[in-house]
Amino acid sequence: MKFEDYNINEGLKKNIAKLGYIKPTDIQFKSIPAIQKGEDVLAIAQTGTGKTAAFAIPIIDLLHKRKIVGRNDGIKCVVMEPTRELAIQIYETFDVLSRHTRVKSLCVFGGVEQDSQIAALQEGVDILVATPGRMFDLVSQGHINFKRLEIVVLDEADHMLDLGFIKDIRNLIRFLPKNRQTLFFSATIDSKIKELAYSLVHKPVHIQISPKDPVAKNVNHAVTFIKMDDKRFFLERIINEHPDSKILVFVRTKIRAERVLKAMERIDIKTITLHGDKEQQERLNALNLFKKGEVKVLIATDVSARGIDIDQVEYVINYDLPEKPENYVHRVGRTGRGNSRGQAISFCSEEEKPILDEIQKYLDNEIQVLEINLEEYHQTIDFSGETKTNWKSLMKEIKQMEEQHQKAVAKKAKRKANKKK
């Protein structure tokens, strides 16, 4: 069955075609009819399988058909997202899909001034995409009214729990009408997720896609064994071998992200970082540069793993293995999205092997090992741009350290002189 065969608005069909969607993915095929019927849905599907369109398409269609032209009687649908980046990207999908329809969307999130968001709310919107914290603030201040609410979507529910949003979500529920349609989407499920889900949904349609293999079938993933201090050489090699590819690199910490960036800068490879220490505008700028392909390599921490939904990310590199096994699934899910294919490669050092065991246990499967023979291993290091310019870089770093030391000595001497006066 193709999208053109669905009983949906013609304007919406045109928008779907412009996005290049022809046939629905499994999650879309199973979710769209149930949502159109007004049923509650509890859906578990891997990241990258088309979950956003699975709920966005039927929601826009339903609201378009129900809406009276010119009526401004409040928000009809709220979509809760765990991160600002994800909220923005989900909103962008709604915005594109709702063109040529009578449906208007808005995105609100924290970390920025709320005045412009309040002004947009006052103009009237149908669909509100939001992070729980900012949405709860606006509800408490009386800027959001849910009296006309018809549909609630809780997206990436497992990540919401990881980030500690459960209290905000439960607080929000008391503001929502009891007679509503609730859609619950998550990449993973456990006892906490089930408890939250069943407190929100009523006799839901259960949808679970490929539960035995949490990694999407469009992703080829492998692991290779590399010493911790040698990882930068192998990242350099992959980047140089695929100069036209978008490459997303995951590291464990913010400090680590900046160190990898510096290592790439030393060999004239342009990269950009994305992590929690960045200001909101810096994070958005980083995503836009990567999305447009102006910077081909993005180095990110796990905080950003769910917030990156960018077309044509050909490679995901797990520079460091994630501490939580489920984060492996979310990381590699940044490639091979929709009907595209992707490649994920994990660098595993000796000290990370216990983490690899946990990941394989979580997947209930062994990850394919990408063998590197000793000669190839040493060649990768020997032919590195960093190895060739190592003496030059070292002299530069020594000079910078000397300059910093001289400045510190001069500052100290000045303080002593001021004290004597």
Within the chain, which residue ranges are assigned CATH 3.40.50.300? 3-208, 219-387
pLDDT in tens, 223-256: 999 999 999 999 999 999 999 999 999 999 999 9
Q: pLDDT tier at 416 (50, 70, 90 boundaries)? A: low
Q: How far is CA 318 from the centre of its chain?
A: 15
Give backbone dihedrals phi and psi of 127, rounded to 5 degrees, phi first.
Answer: -120, 125
* Mean per-residue pLDDT, 277-305: 86
Torsion of Cα atoms, 261 then 265 then 268 then 273, to 10°: 30
- What mean pLDDT, rounded, does the chain reach? 86
Cβ-based burial of 278 (10 A; exposed 0-12, middle 13-18, buried ≥19): middle
pLDDT-wise least confident of 187-191, 225-229, 301-305: 301-305
Distance CA 84, CA 46 (A): 21
Side-chain half-sphere of 414: how many Cα atoms within 13 Å? Answer: 6
pLDDT at 391: 46
pLDDT-wise least confident of 45-54, 61-70, 175-184, 412-421: 412-421
pTM exceeds 0.75 for this model:
no
**CATH number listed for the domain at residues 3-208:** 3.40.50.300
> Of 64-73, 158-167, 197-206, 362-371, where does the model show the most confidence?
362-371
- Is 347's pLDDT higher than 50? yes
Side chain identity at 129, as an amino acid letter? V
Distance CA 8, CA 60 (A): 9
| Residue 233 near residue 346, CB atoms below 8 Å | no
- Is 316's pLDDT higher than 90? yes
Distance CA 274, CA 276 (A): 7
Distance CA 413, CA 15 (A): 68
Strands (E), 22-71: 41-44
Among the CATH numbers 3.40.50.300, 3.50.30.30, 3.20.20.20, 3.90.180.10, which is that of 219-387? 3.40.50.300
pLDDT at 71: 47
